Homo-oligomer: A and B are copies of this chain.
């Protein structure tokens, strides 16, 4: 049976989510994998149970059955990845599944913070850390996102892959996604 990859990411929030999911599955199949896209899980809402609980349960069940997770970590409405995707990434790591991921936005977390006027000026704290204007330290490890995300991936042998050049449609570009699928095939 083909090994399967859980396709985590904020695509579920796009109006054309189903089409993107189909395209991601097609690319997975090209490399011999079954892609599991969250929208495809059969929702079976129990009486007295909310739709959100049914989605959570279905996603976690689909994830538990996958061999790998491939997370789209493109920043979502802010400086970091979509938190729903990140819950799944943490769960997959704890389940012992190899964690792969990409972001369609190049650059590091600290560069994104430093580009937002609301967080400026950055200053040096007495503890040797850099602080943003909100009074909170900025992680400065040269990583694409928070270290707990990036290092969960490093345990699988890769970091967060990013495109070589800026992409036109960061919500839909699948070039770096395909590089991840190739990395999984080579793993």
Residues of A within 8 A of B (CB): 10, 12-15, 50-53, 55-57, 59-60, 76-84, 86-95, 113, 119, 125-127, 131-132, 134-139, 141, 143, 145-152, 154, 171
Q: Which residues of B contact A134 (CB under 8 A)?
A: 77
Query: Quick one: given A136-B10, A141-B50, are A81 and B79 in contact (CB under 8 Å)?
Result: no
The chain B residue with its CB closest to the CB of A56 is B151
A119 to B135, CA, bound (A): 25
The chain B residue with its CB closest to the CB of A136 is B13
A55 to B50, CA, bound (A): 37
When the two chains form the complex, which single residue of B15, B57, B78, B83 contacts A127, counting CB atoms closer than 8 Å? B15
19 contacts between A and B (CB under 8 A): A12-B137, A15-B131, A15-B135, A50-B141, A52-B147, A53-B154, A56-B147, A56-B148, A77-B113, A78-B79, A80-B83, A83-B83, A84-B147, A86-B90, A87-B89, A87-B146, A90-B93, A90-B94, A93-B94
